[in-house]
């Protein structure tokens, strides 16, 4: 079930990182194409006409859009290598629920932290920490959300770690101080080559955020 695999991506995108990790976990070779989001390629516009967004996974010329859908697709097609989604229907539902939770909360709250100031930022920080604490509760004593190996929730959440330093600098707070279990889990994930190779350096992401702030005229 090999065929040609291309990932249209943008280096700081936590969504793109999810697909990078999934592919790396399963040892699947693919062509990585960096997109300039201010000058989107014809290929991107053709492959994702509805959203015009990255990441786009192109398998034998057919596009799969939306990172959570890509990870599920990758898991279904290459199901015999490093399965990410549990096999039990109830465990799958639990994993899907928490991935949906990450999608609903983490990106938007994180964005508010670096984009806003004052009360709006304070509220975003508070809610962000509350969400991480809920996730810590779900993790419990497990090594990973997926148990003994990386799972669907791990893959969906760990990319945001590359943005933590930027959130902390912009929001003037320490995520580790509030959520030590989360950071301990992150460190375990970062020991895996698939994760370490897929996440950019936090300092680079912070520099990128500073550039964005200048671009949008945010103090």
Partner 1 sequence: MAGKQKHTRLKNQLKMGEVKVLGSWSSPYGLRVQWALGLKSVEYEYIDEDLLNKSEMLLKYNPVHKKIPVLVHNGKAISESAVILEYIEETWPQQHPLLPKDPYERAMVRFWINFLDNKDKVAPFITFFIGVGEEHKKAVKEAKELLKLYEEQVLGEKKYFGGEEIGMLDLAMGWMAYFGVIEEIVDVKILDAETFPRLHAWIQNFRAHPVIKNNLPDHDRLLQNYTEKRQRFRANSPHTENA
With binding defined as CB under 8 A, does residue 61 bind partner 1? no
Nearest to 75 by CA among 28, 32, 40: 28
For residue 200, the SS3 value is: coil
* Beta bridge pairs of residue 147: 144
73 binds partner 1 per the rule CB under 8 A: yes
- Min dist. Cβ of residue 97 to partner 1 (A): 5
177 binding partner 1? (CB under 8 A): no
Query: How many other C-beta atoms lie within 10 A of the C-beta of residue 197?
Result: 10
72: contact with partner 1 by CB under 8 A? yes
- Binding-site size for partner 1 (CB under 8 A) equals 23
Q: Determine contact, residues 131/106, Cβ cutoff 8 Å.
A: yes
Contact 121, 111 (CB under 8 A): no
Cis peptide before 55 (omega within 30 of 0): yes
- Segment interacting with partner 1, rule: CB under 8 A, options 70-78, 120-128, 153-161, 197-205: 70-78
- Nearest to partner 1 of 76, 201 (CB atom): 76
Q: Which of 33, 92, 204, 213 binds partner 1 (CB under 8 A)?
A: 92
Interface pick for partner 1 out of 2, 37, 45, 134 (rule CB under 8 A): 134
- Non-local CB neighbours of 122 within 8 Å, separated by 6+ positions: none
Q: Please report whether residue 37 would count as binding partner 1 according to CB under 8 A.
A: no
Count the neighbouring beta carbons within 10 Å of the beta carbon of residue 65: 19
The verdict on 68 binding partner 1 (CB under 8 A) reads yes
What residue ranges bind partner 1 (CB under 8 A)? 50, 59, 62, 64-66, 68-70, 72-73, 76-77, 89-90, 92-94, 96-97, 100-101, 134
């Amino acid at each position: 079930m090999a065929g040609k695999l291309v990932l249209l991506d943008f280096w700081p995108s936590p969504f793109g990182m999810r697909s990078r990790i999934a592919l790396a976990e399963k040892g699947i070779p693919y062509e990585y194409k960096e997109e300039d989001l201010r000058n989107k390629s014809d290929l991107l516009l053709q492959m994702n006409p509805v959203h015009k967004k990255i990441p786009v996974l192109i398998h034998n010329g057919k596009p799969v859009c939306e990172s959570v859908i890509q990870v599920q697709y990758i898991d279904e097609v290459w199901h015999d290598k490093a399965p990410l989604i549990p096999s039990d229907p109830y465990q799958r539902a639990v994993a899907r629920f928490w991935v949906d939770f990450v999608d609903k909360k983490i990106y938007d709250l994180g964005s508010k932290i670096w984009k806003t100031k004052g009360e709006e930022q304070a509220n975003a920080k508070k809610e962000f920490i509350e969400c991480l604490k809920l996730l810590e509760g779900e993790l419990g004593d497990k090594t990973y959300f997926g148990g003994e190996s990386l799972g669907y929730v791990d893959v969906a959440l760990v990319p945001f770690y590359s943005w933590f330093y930027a959130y902390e600098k912009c929001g003037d707070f320490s995520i580790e101080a509030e959520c030590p279990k989360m950071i301990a889990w992150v460190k375990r994930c970062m020991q895996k080559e698939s994760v370490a190779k897929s996440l950019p350096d936090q300092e680079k992401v912070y520099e990128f955020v500073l550039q964005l702030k200048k671009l949008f005229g945010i103090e």
